[in-house]
Amino acid sequence: MFSQSIKTLLNSYSTICLQCPLIERTNILDYLVQQFNLPLFSWNLATQRIRPLNEIIVENNCKSVSLSTAINSDLAELELNTLKSVFLTWQQRQETGILIIENGLSLIQDSGLDILLTEVIKGCKEFDKFLIFLEMNEQAVPDSLVSVIPTVSLPIPTVPDLEELAQKLNLSTDLLLPGLGLYGEEISQGVRLAQASNTAIDDTLLNYKIERFQALGLALNPTPKAIDVGGMDLLKKAVHQLQLDYSSKARNLAIPLPKGWLLAGPPGTGKSFVAKLIANRLQFALVTVGVDQVKAHGAVYLSNLLSRMEAAAPIVCYFDEFDKFFEAEGQGEAAKTREVLGVLLTWLQEKRSPVFVLATLNRLDALPPELTRAGRFDKIFYVGFPKAIERKAIFELHGRRFDSRFKDDTALTMEQWQILIDQTNFYTGAEIQAIVENAVRQRFYHGLEIQLSLDDLLAAVDKITPLFTRDTERVLAMANRAKGICEPVSSQDNSVFAPASVNLWGEAV
């Protein structure tokens, strides 16, 4: 069940921490009973008692599970309403045994019991007593105890594990493959849901996984649709190279898997569309990580999310507003940010699975320098304001949704295009989309056929105050910061619509 031997760890440390989701609680307790021929006891804040495991009835998945037999002793049903009293009671016990403390680490953190616990751990070694902290709420071992309490996490099933589970459930392994990224008990629950509703197991399991991921702050899109973005020819070329990196030929040549990209730039410039574009071109599922959720729950939570994504690979892991991770407020927030950063850096450095990370952000200066050095992200792009020819492409992209003339470039004359493009310099892709949609809406309100004219579009332009006008100083600072470390997403604009002379960033020089 665990990748490391629990017996070996206990013999070495006498106290360990096991991390698992709540849904696996019954299975873990039963596993521990089967592994040890010793008296086993459990305590949690809800029962406020130390109880032998054979008396614990756990409600799980709408069924009662009676755990295997454990040995009774004088500790049975002892009322203890604080973790301190539990520690002192276990410290005084002069017989062998294992005490499982459920979700107790947060109580240590909050009450400063780490010193007492170190004394209890010393006493455990004398009488062959052991402590297991069973954590089901993403609580990490306090820093002061990391050296004496090792942590072991329940691994998420891989394909060989699914084969074993499929045999137990008398099912084909293929039916369980959509459950990759879920724990074993979650997969079993998804199967029970399918059987109870008489629906296809694989489809039900996939929908159940989407719901479970959503509850964890992950938005899973298993089959991203084809999407286009206006312009960005250099980025699209890099996406094609990504496809080659993940090809079987690259794997046969042992070419390292890509790690990921950073996309910096003002809001509304199309960064989020790139995530969908990459996922579709690679034919990977797309998982969007809720940054606020990770900030709220911390490093252990992030580690668990990353483990789920690795198990569900191949996947595009998308962090939107990535700079939010590092907007620390106060000393406590700063410490949590450092822990999150440590998990992320280690994972980016060591990951070997086909998980492609795409992180978008508005401010590069918010990122710690460790994240931008070589070996973390393969590329750092700056997605700025679309150049002249790209603005035309974006107008056409959205215009043809309503007016077929934009498909064959007959909606406007060259002179009209030049006027429209000049009037929308330093407009974002999102603002151009809004211009087209507002122009369409006005014609609809007046009962007119949806055939957009230059006047319609210019009238819509006048009603929008672009980001560049509203926040010029911040936008320019963002672009200046990016020029030193980022690649452009577009090559130089040599079209007839471009200014007389421009640099790689599309600016007149």
Instruction: Using DSSP bridges, classify how beta strands 285-289 and 218-221 pair: parallel, antiparallel or unpaired.
Output: antiparallel
Is residue 460 over pLDDT 80? Answer: yes
Instruction: Quickly count: other Cβ atoms within 10 Å of residue 493's Cβ.
Output: 19
Topology of domain 388-480, per CATH? Helicase, Ruva Protein; domain 3 (1.10.8)
Lowest-pLDDT range of 120-134, 232-246, 257-271, 302-316: 120-134
Write down the pLDDT at residue 63.
Answer: 40
Every domain range in the chain assigned CATH 1.10.8.60: 388-480
User: For the domain bounded by 6-153, which CATH number is listed?
Assistant: 3.40.50
Write down the pLDDT at residue 3.
Answer: 64
Write down the pLDDT at residue 329.
Answer: 62
Beta carbons of 507 and 410 less than 8 angstroms apart:
no
Q: pLDDT band at residue 506, thresholds of 50, 70 and 90?
A: low
The architecture (CATH level 2) of 233-382 comes to: 3-Layer(aba) Sandwich (3.40)
Write down the pLDDT at residue 344.
Answer: 87
Q: What is the distance between the alpha carbons of residues 279 and 277, in angstroms, rounded to a whole number? A: 6
Is residue 324 over pLDDT 90? Answer: no
Q: pLDDT band at residue 7, thresholds of 50, 70 and 90?
A: confident
Average pLDDT, the chain: 87
Q: What is the pTM of this model?
A: 0.84
Q: pLDDT band at residue 60, thresholds of 50, 70 and 90?
A: very low
Is the preceding peptide bond at 39 cis, omega within 30 degrees of 0? no
CB half-sphere exposure, 284, CA atoms < 13 A: 30
Helix axes of 454-462 and 429-445: crossing angle, nearest 10 degrees: 110
Is residue 412 over pLDDT 80? Answer: yes
Is residue 100 over pLDDT 60? Answer: yes
pLDDT, average across residues 411-438: 95
Lowest-pLDDT range of 30-34, 176-180, 275-279: 30-34
Q: What is the distance between the alpha carbons of residues 234 and 326, in angstroms, rounded to a whole number? A: 29
pLDDT, average across residues 123-143: 88
pLDDT, average across residues 287-311: 89
Non-local CB neighbours of 293 within 8 Å, separated by 6+ positions? 216, 217, 301
Q: What is the distance between the alpha carbons of residues 72 and 61, in angstroms, rounded to a whole number? A: 28
Question: What confidence tens digit (pLDDT) does each residue in 300-322 have?
Answer: 899 999 999 999 999 999 999 88
Lowest-pLDDT range of 53-62, 180-189, 237-246: 53-62
Helix axes of 159-169 and 184-197: crossing angle, nearest 10 degrees: 40
Q: pLDDT band at residue 68, thresholds of 50, 70 and 90?
A: very low
Is residue 336 over pLDDT 80? Answer: no
Q: pLDDT band at residue 61, thresholds of 50, 70 and 90?
A: very low
pLDDT, average across residues 56-74: 42
Question: What confidence tens digit (pLDDT) does each residue in 192-216 have?
Answer: 999 999 999 999 999 999 999 999 8
- CA–CA distance from 508 to each of 89, 313, 393, 425 (Å)? 77, 44, 20, 11
pLDDT, average across residues 399-428: 94
Is residue 325 over pLDDT 90? Answer: no
